[in-house]
Amino acid sequence: MLRLDSVDDLDYRDYLRPGDRLVWGQACGEPRTLVEHLVRGPLPRDLSAFVGINVANTIGRAHAAQIRLSSYIGSGGNGTLHAAGLLDITPQHYSTLPELVSAQDTGADVVLVRIPPPDPDGRVSLGANYDYLADAMAHARVVIAEIDERAPYTAGDVDLSDLDIDVAVPARHPSAELASRPPTAVQQRIADHVADLVDDGSTLQVGVGALTDAVLAHLTDRRHLGLHSGQIPDGTVDLMMRGVLTGDRKSLDRGLAVGGMLLGTQRLFDFAHRNRKISLRRAGYTHAHAVLAQQSKLTAINSALEVDLTGQINSEVARGQYVGAVGGAVDFLRGAAASPGGVPIIMLPSTAGADSRIVATLSGPVSIARSDAAVVVTEHGRADLRGLTLGQRADALIAVAAPEFRNRLSDAADAAVAAARRSQIR
């Protein structure tokens, strides 16, 4: 590892080649110092970058002229870039991202990472991100790191040393943080319904945001919960400190909270630092169906934008804007469905402004097929679609829609049935 005194001493032209593909740590693990320096240029021509969750908004509209951007997700600052035509979407299941960033034609040439200082033996931790980052590093020609004393030193399934880092600079910025807003009254009611589905001894998979944190806050009276998730959010800290989330009933990784990345605030990072009860793993493990199906009582808790009356789910596009992702929801819903005692859950408010989110026809793509039947939860209750016919699903979903939309949805369901019968007669 070549250590530079300052990022100002780093000339990217010494390491980048024309046409290179870049990958850097996402969300709270974004190497903000390196990315900020990168976009100031000058740079070789025809560079591209695959970016993940955009928390810090380091990349803006002015930078797309230098670097072609793509991502699997449109949330946060990515949504603004996509709406401006400056970011292309790769709609993939999260479990396939390791292959994307390590394949011959799409894999990373250069990887930027944010890490804590190596330990006295020269071992390197990837800090807040393992997910698909480790696979990108294995394929890359060059790995450039920024080192931050406050980045968490986490254990995981990657064995790295300072020899795996080509050049390193000191970080100028603290870790990007993602703090949830206080939950609304509607979110609290949804969380209450979801919490009723979580039994003692369940292994949780959770998304992120105020609704997820509200669900976790409702679980303080549970016992022997485990965690196996794509991300570990702030809300898990209190559950672990209270002795609720222990992992002692997990089928795999007993006693460990397993995730792909830390997604929260400095409180979470400090809690995870050298914490032997937390293990970060690559997406090829956290999202693997064979692993998920072995976890008993895997309870997958994910959000969506819309659900139609057949159970199809849109988790990507709202009002014509790409704001979500295919992400890991399908991976975890299928894993929970195969898990002994597992529960696949999709939660969403029944309305968005003046519009229903239980709809006759999706306004966006089918991110999750109706064959991946879930328990759909709104503030009005739960609709367990597993084993139901299409007609039964429509009735169940209408019952958890906002009351002012139920008659309209019933009319749409009746019209769909009538149309289907007419087509059979012909």
Q: Reply yes or no on whether the pLDDT at 418 is more than 80.
A: no
The band of 354, judged by pLDDT with boundaries at 50, 70 and 90, is: very high
Provide the 3-class DSSP secondary structure of residue 115: strand
**Per-residue pLDDT tens for 82-104?**
999 999 999 999 999 999 999 99
Q: Are residues 371 and 237 in the same domain?
A: yes
Q: Are residues 125 and 214 in the same domain?
A: no
pLDDT at 421: 64
Token readout for 314 is 């849109």
Model confidence, pTM: 0.96
pLDDT at 61: 81
Residue found by looking up tokens 């998730």 in the block: 229
Q: Is residue 193 part of a domain?
A: yes
Share of the chain above pLDDT 90, in %: 92
Q: What is the mean pLDDT of residues 114-134?
A: 96
The band of 53, judged by pLDDT with boundaries at 50, 70 and 90, is: very high
**Per-residue pLDDT tens for 316-340?**
999 999 999 999 999 999 999 999 9
Cα 213 to Cα 187, 188, 253, 263, 301: the distances in Å are 10, 10, 23, 12, 11
Q: What is the mean pLDDT of residues 286-293?
A: 98
Mean pLDDT, all residues of the chain: 95
Q: What is the mean pLDDT of residues 378-401?
A: 98
- CA neighbor of 48 nearest in space, from 32, 71, 74: 71
Q: Which residue did the predictor score with more confidence, 421 or 323?
A: 323
The band of 289, judged by pLDDT with boundaries at 50, 70 and 90, is: very high
The band of 188, judged by pLDDT with boundaries at 50, 70 and 90, is: very high
What is the CB neighbour count within 10 angstroms for residue 363? 15
pLDDT at 425: 60
pLDDT at 59: 87
**Per-residue pLDDT tens for 147-157?**
999 999 999 99
Q: Are residues 274 and 141 in the same domain?
A: no
Q: Cα–Cα distance between 160 and 74 in angstroms, integer?
A: 31
Q: Is residue 130 part of a domain?
A: yes
**Per-residue pLDDT tens for 232-250?**
999 999 999 999 999 999 9
Q: Reply yes or no on whether the pLDDT at 54 is more than 70.
A: yes
Q: What is the mean pLDDT of residues 187-214?
A: 95
Q: Are residues 160 and 218 in the same domain?
A: no
Q: Cα–Cα distance between 175 and 155 in angstroms, integer?
A: 18
Please identify, among 123, 140, 170, the residue that sits at the C-terminal boundary of a domain: 170
Q: Are residues 113 and 210 in the same domain?
A: no
293: domain CATH number is 3.30.750.70
Q: Are residues 150 and 225 in the same domain?
A: no
Kind of pairing between the strands at 313-314 and 317-318: unpaired
Q: Is residue 357 part of a domain?
A: yes
Q: Cα–Cα distance between 10 and 203 in angstroms, integer?
A: 45
Token readout for 98 is 């390791």
Range of the domain at 135: 12-170
Asked which of 178-187, 279-288, 306-315 is least confident by mean pLDDT, the reply is 178-187
- CA neighbor of 381 nearest in space, from 398, 361, 394: 398
**Per-residue pLDDT tens for 251-276?**
999 999 999 999 999 999 999 999 99
Token readout for 286 is 């956290």
Q: Are residues 108 and 208 in the same domain?
A: no
User: Domain count of the chain?
Assistant: 2
The band of 77, judged by pLDDT with boundaries at 50, 70 and 90, is: confident
- The number of C-alpha atoms within 13 Å of 146 and in the hemisphere containing its C-beta is 29
Q: What is the mean pLDDT of residues 101-129?
A: 97
Q: What is the mean pLDDT of residues 180-205?
A: 97
Q: Reply yes or no on whether the pLDDT at 424 is more than 70.
A: no
Q: Is residue 177 part of a domain?
A: no
Residue found by looking up tokens 């039964």 in the block: 392
Q: What is the mean pLDDT of residues 207-216?
A: 91
Q: Are residues 164 and 193 in the same domain?
A: no
Q: Is residue 4 part of a domain?
A: no
Q: Is residue 425 part of a domain?
A: no
pLDDT at 212: 93
Q: Are residues 165 and 191 in the same domain?
A: no
Q: Is residue 242 part of a domain?
A: yes
pLDDT at 422: 67
Q: Reply yes or no on whether the pLDDT at 426 is more than 60.
A: no
pLDDT at 76: 84
Q: Which residue did the predictor score with more confidence, 55 or 209?
A: 55
Q: Are residues 344 and 222 in the same domain?
A: yes
Please identify, among 135, 170, 205, the residue that sits at the C-terminal boundary of a domain: 170
Q: Are residues 154 and 204 in the same domain?
A: no
Q: Cα–Cα distance between 114 and 152 in angstroms, integer?
A: 10
Q: Reply yes or no on whether the pLDDT at 35 is more than 60.
A: yes
pLDDT at 64: 76
pLDDT at 114: 98
Q: Is residue 3 part of a domain?
A: no
Q: Are residues 60 and 119 in the same domain?
A: yes
